[in-house]
Amino acid sequence: MEAREVLRYMIRFVLLVLAQVVVFNHMRLGGYINPYVYVLFVLLLPIDVNGWFLLLSAFVLGLTVDMFMDSAGMHAAATVFMAFCRPAVIRLISVKSDFEPGTVPGIASQGLTWVVTYALLLILLHHIPLFFLEVFRLSGFWSTLSRILLSSLASFAFVLLGFFFMGKPARG
Amino acid sequence: MRNLFNFIARNYFFFAFLALEVVAILLIAQNHQHQRSFFLHSGNAVAGFFYRRVDAVTSYLDLQQVNEQLARENALLMEQLPPAFLDPGLQEPVIHQDSLQERRYAYLPARVINNSVIRRSNYLTIDKGSRHGIEPDMGVITPYGVVGIVKNVSERFATVISLLHHESRISVRLKEQEHIGSLIWEGGDYRRATMEYIPSHVALQRGDTILTSGFSRIFPKDVFIGTIADFEIRRGENFFTAGVDLALDFNRLGQVQVVTDLMGAEQDALEALNDN
């Protein structure tokens, strides 16, 4: 991957972590829901991204958020799990399985429906381990499940906004 | 052997995922044992420095509110000056024992630079550390309520276990009825806590005031906690469990006071003799 792309990903990484830690961590929707938008970084990686890069960047991303939120490896664990499921999810929801090398998931290239399904599924796959790890028990299962669903919806709303902003491929 | 390596190489994605996931879970497990995970501790210089800068900007938005709160704190503190402590029994010109006026608790103001209220285990970070004299197990309060207990301390920062923690337990007292109970937090709403073990013969009323009992040396006596919202006797128990409306809004914590027990060492040394 060329230097310019690496730089772009690094900037995106920093921006998303900052946005999460400075803005989104202070939103208390409905009193207790916290949107997690940093996952957008993993969602925006090219479809044919190298497996190592996918997993490692997800791990580092989660670990960085953990460092700010004092949550040990919880976000790292959830984000790596989501990254692991990403290729399977993409295969599942794509009608055609041949993408041009280097395509990035986006509304312009795959269409709104695809992006919505993609984002929703992966966000759920991220939030489910995250919330269950945080609670670390199976009692109160349904209340945890409702928290997961509501948080996922909130994260999804902001992530979708993020997709709209990514817009044309020509944007830096 | 080579077949094994080939197998792993072909399925590297899965094994890499497994390896990273195990590392992440190990990190979680370590933290749950309260070991010092220095790297992930938010008292760490990087995160602490960063939060300080962000706080410097956002604190300007709170200035008016902080001023009003400081004015109220001043009023409360002024009420604690010597005239309020005059013992009506000592009207005669006897020699005042200095021990009646000795200060037991000292307060160190600090700012909250990181906080959470939505988890089962909530912690906050303050901008004072060991170089300011903060030590683990010191209490943290505001005039409107107990905030928590200091957990870990680095040179410039400290983390505090919030009252909003599923293992938190504070010794409290009903102001009117004077009975002692325990204050815990059962999760969910950050504006509500629960007081347990109130004997069933106590005449409770909605709105009754709850204060710290002073039985634990971590918190001074009579710190205002909140008021009773509702109460019930749970099935199979002999005492009231009351819901408490907390006076302190944990979501808007700004200035707090760290409590130093100046006579703690002396009392500890004395009580240690009990078992001899």
Taking a C-beta distance cutoff of 8 angstroms, is the pair B237, A14 a contact? no
Q: Is residue A69 over pLDDT 70?
A: yes
Contacts of A5 (CB under 8 A, 6+ apart): none
Q: What pLDDT does residue A84 have?
A: 92
Q: Which of A69, A73, A136 sits opposite B24 (nearest CB)?
A: A73
Highest mean pLDDT range out of A63-67, B59-63, B90-94?
A63-67
Distances (CA, A) of B210 to B129, B156, B225: 30, 34, 6
pLDDT digits (tens, 9 = 90+) for A14-64: 888 888 888 888 777 776 678 899 999 999 888 888 888 899 999 999 988
Residue B26 contacts A where some CB pair is shorter than 8 Å: yes
Substitution target in B10, B22, B40, B164 with the highest count of A β-carbons within 10 Å is B40
Q: What is the pLDDT of residue B86?
A: 45
Please give the model's pTM, rounded to 2 decimal places.
0.56
Closest CA in chain A for residue B10: A51
pLDDT tier at B244, thresholds 50, 70, 90: very high
Give percent of chain A with pLDDT exceeding 70. Answer: 88
A-chain CB neighbours of B61 within 8 Å are none
Q: Of A132-136, B173-177, B202-206, which range is least confident?
A: A132-136
Task: Quote the pLDDT of residue B34.
Answer: 46
The total number of residues written for chain A in this structure? 172
Q: What's the mean pLDDT in B108-125?
A: 88
Which positions in chain A touch B13 (Cβ < 8 Å)? 51, 55, 84, 87
Residue with more model confidence, B275 or B122: B122
Task: Tell me if chain B has a CB within 8 Å of the CB of A74.
Answer: yes
Out of B27, B41, B189, name the one closest to residue A73 (CB): B27
Q: Which of B11, B206, B59 lies closest to A84, judged by CA?
A: B11
The distance of A33 to chain B (nearest Cα, Å) reads 8
Place B273 in a pLDDT band, splitting at 50, 70 and 90. Answer: confident
Q: Which residues of A touch B159 (CB under 8 A)?
A: 70
Q: Give the residue among B213, B207, B208, B206 at the shortest CA–CA distance from B177.
A: B208
| Interface residue A83 vs chain B (CB under 8 A) | yes
Binned at pLDDT 50, 70 and 90, residue B93 comes out as very low
Dihedral angle of Cα B240, B246, B247, B249, to the nearest 10 degrees: 180
Residue at B138: amino acid letter: M
Per residue in B37-84, pLDDT tens? 544 555 566 677 777 888 887 778 778 788 778 877 876 786 676 554
Q: What is the pLDDT of residue A112?
A: 84
Euclidean distance between the first and the last CA atom of chain B, given in angstroms as a whole number: 65
Question: Does pLDDT of A123 surpass 80?
Answer: yes
What local confidence, expressed as pLDDT, does residue B95 receive? 45
pLDDT tens-digit map of A76-92: 999 999 999 999 888 88
Q: Which residues of chain A neighbour B185 with C-beta distances below 8 Å? A: none
What integer is the mean pLDDT of B144-167?
91
How many alpha carbons fall within 13 Å on the CB side of residue A140?
14
Query: With an 8 Å Cβ cutoff, are B23 and A76 in contact?
Result: yes
What pLDDT shows up at residue A121? 92
Name the residue of chain A whose CA is nearest to B24's CA. Answer: A73
Q: Note whether A56 contacts B: Cβ–Cβ < 8 A.
A: yes
Interface of A with B in 26-55 (CB under 8 A): 28, 31-34, 51-52, 55
Would the CB atoms of B28 and A74 count as touching at under 8 Å? yes
Question: Is residue B12's pLDDT more than 70?
Answer: yes
Which residues numbered 6-25 in B keep a CB inside 8 Å of some CB on A?
Answer: 12-14, 16-17, 20-21, 23-25
pLDDT at residue B150 greater than cutoff 90: yes
Q: Looking at residues B173-186, what average pLDDT do you find?
A: 90
B192 vs B89, which has greater pLDDT? B192
**Topology annotation, domain B39-79+102-263:** Thrombin, subunit H (2.40.10)
Share of chain B above pLDDT 70, in %: 84
Cβ within 8 Å of residue A143, ≥6 positions away: none
- pLDDT on residue A138: 56
Q: Is the pLDDT of residue B5 over 70?
A: yes
The two three-digit tokens of residue A142, written as one number: 């349904």
Confidence of residue B185 (pLDDT cuts 50, 70, 90): very high
Q: Which residue of B has its CA nearest to A87?
A: B13
Which of B20, B46, B114 is opposite residue A59, by nearest beta carbon? B20
pLDDT of residue B36: 46
A142 touches chain B (CB under 8 A): no
pLDDT at B164: 93
